[in-house]
Amino acid sequence: MDAKERMMVIGLDSAPPSTTFERFLDVMPNLTEILDSSMYGPLRSTHPPITVPAWAVMATGLTPGELGMYGFRHRKPGDYTDYYLITSKNLDRPAVWDFLAEKGLKSLLVGFPPSYPPMKVRGWLISDFHTPSDAKNYTYPPWFRMEVERIAGGRFIHDVEFRVENRRPLMRELRRMTEQHLRVVEKLAKGKEWSLLWYVEIGVDRLHHAFWKFFDENHPRHVNDEELAEFVEQYYRLIDDGIGKLKKAAPDAHLLIVSDHGAKAMEGAFVINEWLADNGYLEFEERPEEQTPLGKAKIRWERTKAWGWGGYYARIFVNVKGREPQGVVDPDDAESLIRQIADDLNEVTLPSGRKMGAQVYLPEELYPEVRGDSPDAIAYFGDLAWRSAGTVGHGRWFLEENDTGPDDAVHDWDGIYVLYDPEGRVPAGQDGREIYDVAPTILEIFNFDIPNRLKSGSILR
């Protein structure tokens, strides 16, 4: 393999083995054919298994700690509830396309998170789903937007609103968006001289969050709706058709189909701040009686030891003296406090009577380096089956639904990978891998020197 090779990466955000390799494989003939001559299997995600930072981890081979990315939102230093969003400006470590650029090779990136504002690359870029709907520029180079919109038939659709009660309009919007994406990528794949094409379809993630309870008979809130369940199967057919067309658009290219994390049914949400208050870690001045964002609740910060944020995992923060405006915990006692919180969380029982189970980590336990504004602890509930609800005023610890809008699915640890070589040099078979294996695999395919920190992870070894 040498630098004349080409590689196409098709990213299916949140695709798990349970749907892609099992439940819907019968309606995916193109993928089935590819699997017969590919190396494939589950791909273990990172901590935390979220779109940001997982795609960045995949493209760099670095941990979230080394990247300084711990989710979409990061707490502003010195503030209890205010935050900033991770953008392309935070992706400041070399990705695989940067290594290719050093040898004069061009890349075509479509929808890679995070890539807004549009990153400067050697090649072409369409920014990701965080692009504002009114953004004047979402491509690199800027004039590439005109070409994209000619192919797209109008403005490129970056995302859809998926946390909605009425799913039927969403079916049309999701199909329209994904069909447009596939049309644009196919045309560009045929028309541009690229060495690396990396396309991420966010629609798969939106499908799972909005429609999981309609096709999964074991979902705790399963709804028997034949039309909505059928739509999920139709969407997987659409993705498979796109895979087939993209493969034909670049028949000489290696093909890597990959997801950043998996998905599964959501059991519910654990109200972390209600629990912290009931266990003496957080104190209200006046306890809300209806759902209230933490930033609008009256909290006695001078008597609060810890608080949490919501999401697919809980970010737990300690009210440290000298760091927070009204800090009360001595810095030397912060770790002990987190260990106590972890012990107490592991005693929590679900309404069913069984233990919820909690995994609580210090960032230093997960990453060789901790950059940026990390939480003091990362907590998963029920092996990810329970979201963290950051709001207060519920009067209970467990919610049947997400507190930020309808949501049927949570993330899971295992995504997927499929590695296909058109010349048959990659042995066919099944094997589990890790998200950290992707970057060194791409570099090895191009016969590049792999940095020492990445040498252990190639799928080809």
The domain ranges of the chain are 7-266+411-454, 268-406
Q: Is 385 left (phi over 0), alpha (psi -120 to 50) or beta?
A: alpha
Residues counted in the chain: 461
Model confidence at 451, pLDDT cuts 50, 70, 90, reads confident
pLDDT in tens, 236-265: 999 999 999 999 999 999 999 999 999 999
The enclosing H or E element of 7 equals strand 7-12
> Would the pTM of this model clear 0.95, i.e. be above it?
yes
Distance CA 72, CA 373 (A): 12
Helix/strand/coil for 113: coil
Superfamily of domain 7-266+411-454: Alkaline Phosphatase, subunit A (3.40.720.10)
Strand pairing of 314-318 and 377-381? antiparallel
pLDDT in tens, 38-88: 999 999 999 999 999 999 999 999 999 999 999 999 999 999 999 999 999
- Comparing C-alpha atoms, which of 161, 250, 133 is closest to residue 198? 250
Q: What is the CA radius of gyration of the chain?
A: 22
Q: Report pLDDT for 286.
A: 94
Beta bridge partners of 361: 378
Query: pLDDT averaged over the chain?
Result: 96
Non-local (6+) Cβ contacts of 4 within 8 A are none
Distance CA 258, CA 307 (A): 35
Q: Report pLDDT for 455.
A: 58
The enclosing H or E element of 205 equals helix 203-215
Model confidence at 4, pLDDT cuts 50, 70, 90, reads confident
Q: Where are the alpha helices (DSSP H) in 216-333?
A: 226-249, 272-278
- The one-character DSSP state at 19 is I
What is the CA 296 to chain-centroid distance, rounded?
28
Distance CA 439, CA 217 (A): 37
